Amino acid sequence: MALFDKVSFLFRISRLLVLVAGCLLVFTGCATRQEFAKRDVSTGEMQAVMQDRPAELQSAYRRLLEEGQRNAVLNNMKLGLDARQLGYLDEAQKAFEAATLSISTVYADNEDAAKARSLWYEEGQKDFKGEPYERAMAFYYLGLNDLERGDFENARASFKSGIQQDAFAEEDQNRCDFASLIFMEGWASQLNNDMGISRDAYDEVKKWRPDFEEPFDKNTLVIIETGKSPRKVADGAGHSQLKFRRGRDFEEYRAEVSVNGGPYVEAYPMEDIYLQATTRGGRPVDNILKGKAVFRSQNVKIGSTLSSASEKVMMAASAMTAVPVVMAAGAALGLVSVTQMALAARSRVRADTRYWDNLPDSTHILPLKLTPGKYTLDVRFRNRFGSIIPGMKVVKKIEMTGDTLPLVWIKSRRELSQDLAY
């Protein structure tokens, strides 16, 4: 065989090998899609769960049953907040208790919990436990439920647990910057007459919110939630990077309250939930890339480098047509390059983009000093430019019957989970 024919043969073989490896890469990449079959639920099991459940929540309970343990925490989070918005506080309590119990089991500081958190398989295949901000918000809502029942001790414990979830970051312990949880711990302590604990909490809030004013002379707390939940998206090679985007299709950024027709007072913007999604202990996070994802990115980097080396060798071979062994070396390097990238894709590290879709974008607080009596709260909203949003208003009627009204909870809009929104 002439030298030219040998070179041509080797070149065709190299292209064939690279094509085969490339096909492996494509097919393996397709295998990372997050698709899950619903479990079969018997009619008897469904009826037993649905019995005496509110009609508006039955689709959420059905989804909880059908998706099973893998999505139980997520579905209980959604169900709990749906129930709160619809006025079913007992249902909300049970859902948040179930969600936080599961979270506490996995996100504890012990070896068994660490094994359960192992990242050496696709994130989306694991039981959902949520990002730190989602876990913290589950305890936040559980604490609000406790406050509304006048159980200040358990409310404080719930808020403290939420603080721990925010501070927890896999194998590292970071400080908590979730100001609303720290404030709520202080507020629950204040209502419980634990003034020392309350003052310590308020001092901590001031580290993150320097203009915060201690509400020691107030006896009623108005919490206003605005906007829509942060969103999770998969990005990067193989969709291994988890990134966050602010919620869409809302205008309200500020809330103002008028009491019994008096002047409007701006509620204090205590928390940006989107900011919580994109920080750890106050430090900005570009994306979530843990465990296996680090391995995958390194392999892709190596593969790209080898591809570059292969091209240079092939170019050298063009100038050295009398050296077919160089052509073989170039083909081998090309094959190794694609194989490396295929191996990376097969590591199945697609980011878990399941998320709590009916959370707010922000929370605002307005502590008040009220005497016993009936009150009408008129709440209006402003956009990011400071303009009042026409037609967007919430009216809340409350009655103060004792010395303390622990909580008035207001949302700018009813934002039910996707299970109930259609």
Distance CA 4, CA 314 (A): 15
* Per-residue pLDDT, 31: 38
Write out the H or E segment, with its range, that includes residue 198: helix 195-208
In the predicted structure, residue 281 carries a pLDDT above the cut 90: no
* pLDDT single digits (tens) 350-372: 778 999 999 999 999 999 999 99
Sheet containing 388-400: order of strands: 265-266, 254-259, 373-382, 388-400
* pLDDT single digits (tens) 227-264: 999 999 998 877 878 889 999 999 999 999 999 999 99
Confidence band of 117 (pLDDT split at 50, 70, 90): low
Distance CA 294, CA 349 (A): 9
For 323, half-sphere exposure in the C-beta direction (CA atoms, 13 angstrom radius) is 11
Confidence band of 46 (pLDDT split at 50, 70, 90): confident
Q: Which residue in 64, 36, 40 sits closest to 50, CA to CA? A: 64
Distance CA 320, CA 56 (A): 76
Q: How far apart are the first and last CA of the chain?
A: 71
pTM exceeding the 0.75 threshold for the entire prediction: yes
* CB contact at 8 A, 407 and 144: yes
Distance CA 399, CA 276 (A): 34
Of 41-50, 56-65, 181-190, 286-295, the range with the lowest mean pLDDT is 286-295
Question: Between these two residues, 107 and 413, which has the higher pLDDT value?
Answer: 413
Confidence band of 106 (pLDDT split at 50, 70, 90): confident
- The residues, ordered by sequence, that sit 6+ positions from 172 with a Cβ below 8 Å of its Cβ are none
Residue 50 is encoded by which pair of tokens?
């649905």
* Per-residue pLDDT, 236: 81
* pLDDT single digits (tens) 210-229: 999 999 999 999 999 999 99
Question: Between these two residues, 21 and 152, which has the higher pLDDT value?
Answer: 152
* CB contact at 8 A, 235 and 342: no
- The residues, ordered by sequence, that sit 6+ positions from 101 with a Cβ below 8 Å of its Cβ are none
Question: Between these two residues, 122 and 302, which has the higher pLDDT value?
Answer: 122
Question: Between these two residues, 5 and 181, which has the higher pLDDT value?
Answer: 181
